Amino acid sequence: MKYSVRGGPCYNLFIQTTVKVNNRRAMKMKKIWLWRALACAGAMTLLAGCGAKTGETPETAAQTQAGQTGQSEAGTTKEGGAGELTGKLVIMTNASGGTFEAMNEVFARFMEENPGVEIEYSSQGKDYEQLMKAKMAANDLPDLFATHGWSVNRYSEYLRPLNDQEWYGDLVEEILPVMSDSEGQIYALPMNVDKSGIVYNADLLEKLGKEVPKTWDEFLDACEEAKNQGYTPVYLAGKDPGKLAGVINTVSPTYLITDEADNYRTQLKDGSFDWANYAPVFRLITTLRDSGYLNKDYQTADPITIPQKLAGGEVLFALENNATMADAYALKADAGLAMMPVPTASPEDEPVLLGGEREAYGVWKDGPNQELALELLRFMAEKENIEKVSTASGMPASMKGATGNLGVVNESYEKYADSRVFPKFDREYLPNGMWSTMKTVGSALIAGDVDVDKACQMMGEDYIKFREQNNE
């Protein structure tokens, strides 16, 4: 059975613990175990989350839970009667909200159809990147894991190539350049296609008498009007440093990459970029803060509140991907939200969408359960499952013939179908490791601990360091 706790103070901690489904026990004692499981989940949330022992990580919490249930950490794949699948798979992701729940439902259905299989599925949230780095260093990875945009540049040496899988030929063409290496190999099954802009309240923007902004100057003008009329112009959930990194990642291309007549693509690729030229990106962020365009609790707001605020009609803009919009519509069907392309720095440039790999899963090439993992990938690639994740994430489906029920979200995709699409900035132009830098710098900048010049210096120092480490 699936356990889900929404909106409570320990939600983020809970979602990092292991989510398990044991269909055989559930089918026998469904009602009894439902209440016991929920009680147990609540207790473990408080013990392993809110009152966790010092130094305990989400990973150790997951291992502790597995130990308490008396279930083995080892997984095997065996052939039983009539080709029955058996064994255990450990799967990790950084997904949250509707996407996490949709994947959980997919795994639950696989276990229902294959009673001999156990899946341990967990989200490590904001700790995912550091956890995976540690696991790569130890060559001790989960059987399957989410590649969160880095299946080629970060994880490919640890993953089994997947071009030989039957579903490969059904992938939509637009995802192949993003997820293929120089030899055309892919290393993960994408469940959706990341193509996002900025989420905004279309009803509120119309009420303010403003058009969809095409430049950052127009964006700031709309923010000023929203502030004057008592609304929150931009909602930022700074409790998670990844949200600050996400803002930097969204803004950066339009100042540095997208203008065909004036850009730094070559310099960022060859290492000659002068990081003083990054200052306009950080100045936009400090302008939002200093002009009072952010929610008052921008440093401490929890990401789980973003869909709630958008659905409540209190917020004009959120520099978030479309999964946030889908979550908001799940709370309020007439939320009046839409997606717009990212504004540009120059009025001569055209707004853009940012795209790439999103919820995708690869198979650890040295894992003991590869055959079972490949069977699960085959199941995940089925149309019904792709559409489920597409719908939950608010992003287009990754397979030909599959169409997510995106509702009003799809209206935005259709409206901006001809918009230019650029890769996520850090995945294309920054060396591996810079996401952590962006989290640190973004948090320090928004808190006022560093100024724009210092933020540029910090980015430049780590850019050089990580290029050297990655032998670029």
143 part of a folded domain: yes
- Interval 372-431: pLDDT, tens: 999 999 999 999 999 999 988 888 899 999 988 777 778 888 888 888 988 889 988 999
Cα–Cα distance for residue pair 217/452, rounded to 1 Å = 19
Residues 289 and 435 occupy one common structural domain:
yes
The mean pLDDT of 1-14, rounded to a whole number, is: 35
Average per-residue pLDDT for the chain: 83
131 part of a folded domain: yes
Residue 352's DSSP bridge partners are: 342, 420
Residues 296 and 334 occupy one common structural domain:
yes
Residues 391 and 265 occupy one common structural domain:
no
pLDDT for res 208: 97
59 part of a folded domain: no
Residue 248 has pLDDT above 50, yes or no: yes
- Interval 218-241: pLDDT, tens: 999 999 999 999 999 999 999 999
CATH of the domain at 252: 3.40.190.10
Radius of gyration of the chain (CA): 22
Neighbouring CB atoms inside 10 A of 43's CB total 10
82 part of a folded domain: no
Residues 91 and 156 occupy one common structural domain:
yes
pLDDT for res 441: 97
- Interval 314-323: pLDDT, tens: 999 999 877 7
Residue 49 has pLDDT above 60, yes or no: no
Residues 188 and 302 occupy one common structural domain:
no
More confident residue, 275 or 74: 275
Cβ proximity of 307 and 315 under 8 Å: no
The mean pLDDT of 21-34, rounded to a whole number, is: 36
Question: Which residues have C-beta within 8 Å of that of residue 115, sequence separation ≥ 6?
Answer: 23, 24
The mean pLDDT of 451-466, rounded to a whole number, is: 97
Residue 451 has pLDDT above 70, yes or no: yes
- Interval 66-92: pLDDT, tens: 333 333 334 444 444 446 999 999 999
Cα–Cα distance for residue pair 155/61, rounded to 1 Å = 24
Kindly state the percentage of the chain with pLDDT values over 90.
62
Residues 249 and 287 occupy one common structural domain:
yes
- Interval 324-375: pLDDT, tens: 887 898 899 999 999 999 999 999 999 999 988 889 999 999 999 999 999 9
Instruction: Tell me how many domains the chain contains.
Output: 2
pLDDT for res 472: 62
Residue 89's DSSP bridge partners are: 119
- Interval 93-125: pLDDT, tens: 988 888 899 999 999 999 999 999 999 999 987
Cβ proximity of 421 and 346 under 8 Å: no
221 part of a folded domain: yes
pLDDT for res 130: 85
pLDDT for res 358: 85
Task: Mark 127-146 as b/e (b = at least 16 C-beta within 10 Å).
Answer: ebbebbeebeeeeebbbbbb
Residues 212 and 122 occupy one common structural domain:
no
405 part of a folded domain: yes
Residues 212 and 91 occupy one common structural domain:
no
Residues 410 and 325 occupy one common structural domain:
no
pLDDT for res 62: 38
Per-residue pLDDT band for 203 (boundaries 50, 70, 90) equals: very high
DSSP-derived 3-state class of residue 158:
helix
pTM above 0.85, yes or no: no
Q: Which domain holds residue 387?
A: 87-194+356-414
Question: Which residues have C-beta within 8 Å of that of residue 256, sequence separation ≥ 6?
Answer: 263, 264, 265, 268, 277, 278, 281, 425, 429
Q: CA nearest 386: which of 196, 190, 120?
A: 190
pLDDT for res 468: 92
pLDDT for res 406: 78
Residue 43 has pLDDT above 50, yes or no: no
Residues 200 and 190 occupy one common structural domain:
no
Residues 261 and 388 occupy one common structural domain:
no
383 part of a folded domain: yes
pLDDT for res 236: 97
Residue 46 has pLDDT above 70, yes or no: no
Q: Taking the CA of residue 464 as centre, how many other CA atoms within 13 Å lie in the half-sphere pointing to its CB?
A: 9
pLDDT for res 14: 36
- Where a domain ends, among 414, 442, 462? 414
Cα–Cα distance for residue pair 25/261, rounded to 1 Å = 63
Structure tokens at 372: 């079972």
